Amino acid sequence: MIKNLPLLISILIIGVSTSTISMNGHLPTFFEWTLPIMSIILNATAVIGLSLHVFIYKPMKKAEDNLNGVIK
């Protein structure tokens, strides 16, 4: 899961950038609808992945390390 962390952070940055571009510019109609939809998908994917990393992976890893310390 750690290997995916830079990918998730870059997806979040791209999603926020896409959202900013779509809200601040005068764009053609195609991009006016495509960029917000793309930014929602990218941001949702990154937030779900980062939440899973922080709230599930890290506590499981900590519990596993504690268990290994008790067993040894």
Is the per-residue pLDDT at 36 higher than 60? yes
Phi-psi region of 26 (alpha: psi -120 to 50; beta: other; left: phi over 0): beta
Is residue 49 within 8 Å of residue 8, measured between CB atoms? yes
DSSP-based helix, strand, coil % in the chain, nearest 5: 90, 0, 10
Q: Record the pTM.
A: 0.74
Query: pLDDT for 2-16, tens place per residue?
Result: 678 889 899 999 999
